[in-house]
A and B are shown apart, each in its own frame.
Chain A
């Protein structure tokens, strides 16, 4: 078994008609996904990020078979999703953070009974999976509660359980932590980490919350304007984005910007100065140099903000 998910020069072109006058329409092609190629091995947990409209959801929809690619080759578990959508559906799980698969008006358990029938899960396995998911996702007291009465965090955990009852080999998560509070986010992340390590489920995670990525994914893919602009480790992303750490120093008194070779001053505010230096470089020599030549009171190091890194990355691509 080679790559579990494989895309080769996949593209998706939408035709958009725009009204340009009375009864006049202008046809325009929009490339939502353009020459996209990547592979995901079985058991990987990959973050898939990009700004709004970058083509993330279009990719997910093609991977589930709802949308047919305009060109290129796409396989999930050896299956061409759009041709054999039904067969693939039994092997994948999908969670859309902003939508729900659960029956709004009925108790949570009804939606699970429906999944039992829909995915033709053998009775014993259904009960076993349900028990396990209820325990891990802390759904015990919620099974008889109508879904409309659940909090967002509870509903999200309910939706994740619904997507996993049939033991899918791959789970697509589209914004699974959107709108959740810190406690709920942590619960969801802990569960996903366990799912991936214990059961080897392949996970493709789309998110705007970069903490999701930092805590869960060893590999990140960044998509922008339908093209893959980065594919690699999170650490590599910092390098690729030329990210910087910030050293904040409090001096004894107001001084002109300090002069050091390893960093540059980016901001001065009274006796406090901000120094930027490459993320890959140690702060120790810089601190030693400063301490030797300037009257230091206090200092702190701020880690690079991955969001800023990615924002810079998008901006660069837009220029080039």
Chain B
């Protein structure tokens, strides 16, 4: 299928583009590891005081920390995804080039973001996770099936993450400079995905709400699968529903944006 090969090529390009910046990647790995250490000691102090908070034991919560650091840049929860480039292209008018290509704008950027995400998963995810697993007592599933299921949840998380960030990026068609929206989205995503604390620990209505929001597909959902909480299929269904809703909304906004809005600059 021709279209499949095109988007595979775009994804491969996305992967290789990020791979060219080795120093940045090394710095990112270092940062993720340091933040992992800070979070581990903070969480351990908290879980000493309140054992089994959110239903996690000490080993599980340490796993959660390193998983969070591994997925932070993969899912571009705090920024760093293709949305920044897309917003810049909309602001400068370079998006005109993306628009005249015989390719779908959303699929193009989705492919590019998946390529980026796979690179970040390998380059920036693996090392902090292995470091954590070797240096601290962690909980890791023993059966291969759980690991495979976990990777499935990560893949769906990539789709949901892109779905959210693509909508954020498209606001640049109306706002011209969408950085304010992007920064708000990153802050919201940081909290609502469970980067700060696992969503399980939030009590009452707040917990119910954040666990139902799309961001919980990003970190909480793969963590649930890895730590053996709940049915993987239910998690998949939750993630897939949000992926369909967000990507569908992205298509609607995209067609409105490209129809109504003037492409910037001569």
Contacts and interface: CB of A to CB of B under 8 A. Distances in A.
Interface of A: 14, 52-53, 56-57, 61, 64-68, 85-86, 89-90, 94, 96, 98-101, 103, 105-106, 110, 113-114, 117-120, 146, 174
Interface string B86-124: 000000011011011111000000000000000000000
Contacts of B263: 61, 66-67
B97 A100 contact: yes
B2 A96 contact: no
Given A66-B258, A86-B102, A114-B6, 12 more contacts: A14-B262, A53-B266, A65-B100, A67-B263, A103-B13, A105-B17, A106-B13, A106-B16, A113-B9, A114-B10, A118-B6, A118-B103
Nearest to A148: B20
Given A61-B263, A89-B100, A90-B102, A110 B6 contact: no
Contacts of A120: 2
A57 B265 CA distance: 9
A103 B116 CA distance: 14
A106 B99 CA distance: 21
A90 B103 CA distance: 10
Contacts of A174: 266
Contacts of A65: 100
21 contacts: A56-B266, A61-B96, A66-B96, A66-B99, A66-B100, A68-B259, A85-B100, A86-B102, A94-B100, A96-B96, A103-B17, A105-B17, A105-B21, A106-B20, A113-B9, A114-B6, A114-B10, A117-B5, A118-B101, A118-B102, A119-B102
A146 B17 CA distance: 10
A90 B100 CA distance: 10
A66 B97 CA distance: 10
Given A96-B97, A100-B97, A113-B9, A105 B20 contact: yes
Contacts of A101: 97, 101
Contacts of B20: 105-106, 146
Contacts of A68: 259
A100 B263 CA distance: 16
A107 to B, nearest CB: 9
Contacts of B96: 61, 66, 96, 99
A120 B8 CA distance: 13
